[in-house]
Amino acid sequence: MRKWIPAVLLAAVLILSARWFSELPPTVTPQWGALIPWAPAGEPVSREFAAFGVPLIAAAAWLLLRGVASPAGERLGRRFFPRWLVSEKTGAQAVERFGPTFDAIVAAVVAGLLLLHVVVLGTVLGWPLWTARVFSALIGAGLVVIGNILPRTRPNWVAGLRTKATLADPDLWRRTHRWFGGLVMMTGSPCSSSACAPPHMPCSSGWSGCWCPPC
């Protein structure tokens, strides 16, 4: 059931996008400044792409991650990548050993893309700016979750810090991902807390790249 959470999220967002489609102008200019104050407005795109482009990219990312983690993906990977990266020890069976964690990582990636899509559409549809604050908080929470579960991964060729050394040494893999997961959590925590700060307080956390727009 966990494997299908991204599919449920994709279906829900595609239904919402179809509902909002008629409210979009023929040409849509994404307002990135609602999320990042120094970002210029995006290039104009058709409303078809604005409504369905990012969800389709998220669907492609989901299928790609599930595909490369499968036995067929492992066989294909062996044709193009070195043996230290793709082998029986790092292929589909390796991913299966931490299956629930991998499912959570995939769901977080898809959910992050879909959240970005919904918030950017909201800026075009005239939603209040607090929705962007919610987006920042949820992204921060997602980073904390990913950072917390990264140490549960095992040497594999799909997810994690995959180097020749870490894939060859499970102890080094665990130590590396314990350290890296902590860094990811340290990035996500100020992102969430800054989004919850009162509007009159400066809430930029420049080292983490997060910013919360005023209400």
Across the strands, what pairs with 46? 27
Across the strands, what pairs with 27? 46
- Measured in whole angstroms, the distance separating CA 159 from the mean position of its chain's CA atoms is 13
Q: What integer is the mean pLDDT of 81-86? A: 95
User: For residues 34 and 163, what is the distance between their CA atoms, to the nearest angstrom?
Assistant: 37
Terminal alpha carbon distance of the chain: 38
User: For residues 185 and 146, what is the distance between their CA atoms, to the nearest angstrom?
Assistant: 8
Q: What integer is the mean pLDDT of 141-146? A: 88
Q: What integer is the mean pLDDT of 133-154? A: 88
In whole numbers, what is the pLDDT of the chain averaged over residues?
85
Let me know: does 23 contact 126? Beta carbons within 8 Å.
Answer: no
Q: Between the ranges 172-176, 183-187, 211-215, where is the mean pLDDT highest? A: 172-176
C-alpha radius of gyration, the chain, whole number:
19
Across the strands, what pairs with 149? none
- What per-residue confidence (pLDDT) applies to 200? 47
Q: Which residue has the higher pLDDT, 194 or 16?
A: 16
- What per-residue confidence (pLDDT) applies to 158? 95
pLDDT score of 198 more than 70? no
Give percent above pLDDT 90 in the chain. Answer: 59
pLDDT score of 211 more than 60? no
Q: Each residue of 20-76: pLDDT tens digit? A: 999 998 988 876 666 665 556 667 889 899 999 999 999 999 999 999 999 999 999
- What per-residue confidence (pLDDT) applies to 87? 92
Band (pLDDT 50/70/90 cuts) for residue 99 is very high
Q: What is the DSSP string of 58-79?
A: HHHHHHHHHHHTSHHHHHHHHH
Q: Return all residues near 202 (Cβ < 8 A) that are at least 6 apart.
A: none
Q: What integer is the mean pLDDT of 135-150? A: 87
Among the listed residues 198, 102, 196, 104, the one whose alpha carbon sits nearest the alpha carbon of residue 142: 104
Token pair listed for 5: 């959470």
User: For residues 176 and 165, what is the distance between their CA atoms, to the nearest angstrom?
Assistant: 11
Work out whether the CA dihedral 28, 32, 38, 43 comes out positive or negative: negative
Across the strands, what pairs with 28? 45
Q: Each residue of 151-183: pLDDT tens digit? A: 999 999 999 999 999 999 999 999 999 999 999
- What per-residue confidence (pLDDT) applies to 60? 97
User: For residues 212 and 167, what is the distance between their CA atoms, to the nearest angstrom?
Assistant: 38
Sole residue written with tokens 């996500």 = 188
